[in-house]
Amino acid sequence: MPVRVKKLIGTVLLVLLVVIYALVATMVAVAQLAQSGALVHLVFFFLSGLLWVLPAMWIIKWMVKPAGR
């Protein structure tokens, strides 16, 4: 697959990942953390704010890998 096509697909996947992940994280926070304190909210949003990086790294590695590998 040509690198340009992989980058287009990867870009679309990254945008979808961020949007879907943000919606899911927000739904979990609203459903589970409604009665929790500020510290619990801080920890949840800190961890959930970092967790999306793991699948994003995989997508970016796939995007920049040369064709034919």
Q: How confident is the model at residue 23 (pLDDT cuts 50, 70, 90)?
A: very high
What is the per-residue pLDDT for 22? 94
Q: Would you state the structure tokens that stand for residue 36, as one six-digit string?
A: 């929790």
pTM exceeds 0.85 for this model:
no
Contacts of 36 (CB under 8 A, 6+ apart): 44
Rounded average pLDDT over 41-57: 93
Q: Would you state the structure tokens that stand for residue 34, as one six-digit string?
A: 């409604």
